Amino acid sequence: MTDPGRGPESVYDSGSFRDPNSRVWRDGSRVLRGLNETAAADYAALTATRFYRGACKAKDLVSSEVVETASPDASDWALVLEHGPVDVITYAHEWSFSMLQDAASLTLKLLRAAIDEDMTSKDATPYNVQFVGTRPTFIDIGSFETHRAGEPWWGYRQFCQMFLYPLMFTAYKDLPHQPWMRGAVDGITPEQARRVLQGRRHASRGMVPHVWLHAKADRRFSGGSAGTVKDLKRAGYNKKIYVGLVDRLRKLVDNLSWNRSDSEWADYSERSHYASNDLLSKADFVRGVVAQRQRSQVWDIGANDGMFSRIAAQHADAVLALDADALVVDRLYRALREDGTEGIIPLVVNLADPTPGIGWRGTERPPLTERSKPALVLALAVIHHLALTHNVPTAAILDFLFDLDAEVVLEVPAESDKMVKRLKSHKRAGTHDAYTLGTIEAQINQRFDVRQRSELPGGTRVLFDLTPKT
């Protein structure tokens, strides 16, 4: 017997091993899923429902079709499905509050429709949802199964740990959920939630049933569920109770809000430190580079309000708008969602502290650099923040960009730039004397070929169009 990530198992997706009835693998750009006899019977029941057809039409569910193809390790699957591909796999520890909220709401919406036709879901994890632009899409067809009368919703605990509690942390305590979610692949336990959310003022907002009682049951059964199932059956647990639970959860989730308004970069979209000519020249430079050809994926590092992500999206299949500020990313996500912009996925990503692989053997949920391969990287107004705020050597920053093996549009503020002076003013004198335009340009020339170089009209910032040296 082999473990995921080693031997024959390595041909399967590293995050699909937890369901014994279904596995996912790739064949080039194709995404395939094997179902055993149990899962195949559930899939047949699912596709016979009105709920399934409606969800596929609305693009709430990933498209699926039965295909004839061999599995990568000669397993005799009863059925093989091919799914519509997703450009980039992203995770909840990279999503903003509103993204996690929308994914939670979709999960409950689909479950509620499934219950009406005697189907249910056996799990409820954010890993079942992916974003196509700003549209959440449920991708785990194997999650749905025929509902057995008297049984609880097996995904309830998981929904609380990986959706509800993280959302409550942010809405009620202004605690970002991303560090909690990247710190434990299974999310936040009921006891952890109880301790963090203790206090009476939230008791009327789902705290008693979903936190206090859940934590109490956890202590009683030590995390097990057998006793709970027996208790539920004796108490007459039925479909009406199940529906009520899901309806209340969805109302609770949809009514949560994060009202925080303070953020270091929340008003950065005003770009007050740029002269208007500088900003226009910068936009023209970026527009000229991205218009040269269509790219499959573009990274916009330090995307902020998404101005340059939107420019890149005109000539890219997918743009990842990356920013370390969760509030900034949340604002961008809501703006993109409201105006219907497609092709841009905002993500909370701090390159000074990137998420490593997490889960089983550190490979179950791999880092972003293994899930996305950009053809173009926009690194605009980033290098001085990494170097002066986080003390990352400029050579190391350029090494990181080189290792992405992509074309790079790099903006370098000189030592005379007022933002550079401001950042240096918070540091011990002499600490960053090595940060100079001349030094950085020499480091660039060691690693990249310079296709274009343009000094902005203000005279303190230079734009480079770079390709890695071969």
> Domain coordinates of the chain in residue numbers?
7-83, 92-127+147-255, 268-468
Residue 266 has pLDDT above 70, yes or no: no
Tell how strand 295-301 and strand 316-323 pair up.
parallel
**Token pair for residue 43?**
């899939």
Specify whether the CB–CB gap between 73 and 11 falls below 8 A. Answer: yes
pLDDT of residue 8: 46
d(CA 16, CA 83): 14
pLDDT of residue 201: 58
Judged by average pLDDT, the poorest of 120-129, 154-163, 273-282 is: 273-282
Burial class for 217, CB neighbours closer than 10 Å (0-12, 13-18, 19+): middle
d(CA 267, CA 261): 10
The most confident of the ranges 8-17, 71-80, 192-201, 348-357 is: 348-357
pLDDT of residue 6: 42
**Token pair for residue 139?**
């991708």
d(CA 106, CA 274): 40
Residue with tokens 């002076």: 421
pLDDT of residue 228: 56
Strands (E), 254-406: 295-301, 316-323, 344-348, 376-379
C-alpha distances out from residue 67 to 76, 77, 83, 345, Å: 14, 12, 10, 30
Distance in Å from the first CA to the final CA of the chain = 42
Residue 313 has pLDDT above 90, yes or no: yes
Residue type, 266: A
- The CATH architecture assigned to 268-468 reads 3-Layer(aba) Sandwich (3.40)
Instruction: Grade residue 203 by pLDDT with cuts at 50, 70 and 90.
Output: low
Judged by average pLDDT, the poorest of 180-184, 260-264, 370-374, 442-446 is: 260-264
Specify whether the CB–CB gap between 349 and 384 falls below 8 A. Answer: no
pLDDT of residue 335: 96
pLDDT of residue 202: 59
Q: What is the pLDDT of residues 114-150, one digit of tens each?
A: 999 999 999 999 999 999 999 999 999 999 999 988 8
- Average pLDDT taken over every residue of the chain: 89
pLDDT of residue 328: 94
pLDDT of residue 355: 87
d(CA 469, CA 464): 14
Residue 349 has pLDDT above 50, yes or no: yes
Instruction: Grade residue 267 by pLDDT with cuts at 50, 70 and 90.
Output: low
Specify whether the CB–CB gap between 373 and 407 falls below 8 A. Answer: no
Mapping DSSP to helix (H, G, I), strand (E, B) and coil, where does residue 346 land? strand
pLDDT of residue 273: 61
Specify whether the CB–CB gap between 343 and 317 falls below 8 A. Answer: yes
Burial class for 273, CB neighbours closer than 10 Å (0-12, 13-18, 19+): middle
pLDDT of residue 1: 35
Mapping DSSP to helix (H, G, I), strand (E, B) and coil, where does residue 345 land? strand
Backbone angles phi, psi at 22, to 5 degrees: -155, 140
Strand partners, 448: 468
Please report, rounded to a whole number, the percentage of residues in the chain having pLDDT higher than 70: 89
C-alpha distances out from residue 92 to 111, 125, 253, 353, 365, Å: 19, 9, 16, 16, 11
Q: What is the pLDDT of residues 315-332, one digit of tens each?
A: 999 999 999 999 999 999
C-beta neighbour count of 243 within 10 angstroms = 14
Specify whether the CB–CB gap between 21 and 145 falls below 8 A. Answer: no
Residue 269 has pLDDT above 50, yes or no: no
pLDDT of residue 28: 87
Q: What is the pLDDT of residues 60-111, one digit of tens each?
A: 999 999 999 888 887 889 999 999 989 899 999 999 999 999 999 999 999 9
d(CA 223, CA 203): 23
pLDDT of residue 270: 44
Tell how strand 407-413 and strand 376-379 pair up.
parallel
DSSP character string of 223-273: T--HHHHHHHHHTT--HHHHHHHHHHHHHHHHH--------TTTTGGG-TT
pLDDT of residue 80: 95
Average pLDDT over residues 218-224: 56
The one-character DSSP state at 198 is: -
Q: Where are the alpha helices (DSSP H) in 10-132?
A: 37-47, 50-57, 97-115
User: CA angle, corner 123, sides to 121 and 124, nearest 5?
Assistant: 100
pLDDT of residue 236: 58
**Burial profile 424-462: b = 16 or more Cβ within 10 angstroms, e = fewer:** beeeeeeebeebbbeebeebbeebbeeeeeeebebebbb
Describe the chain by its helix, strand, coil percentages, rounded to 5: 45, 20, 35
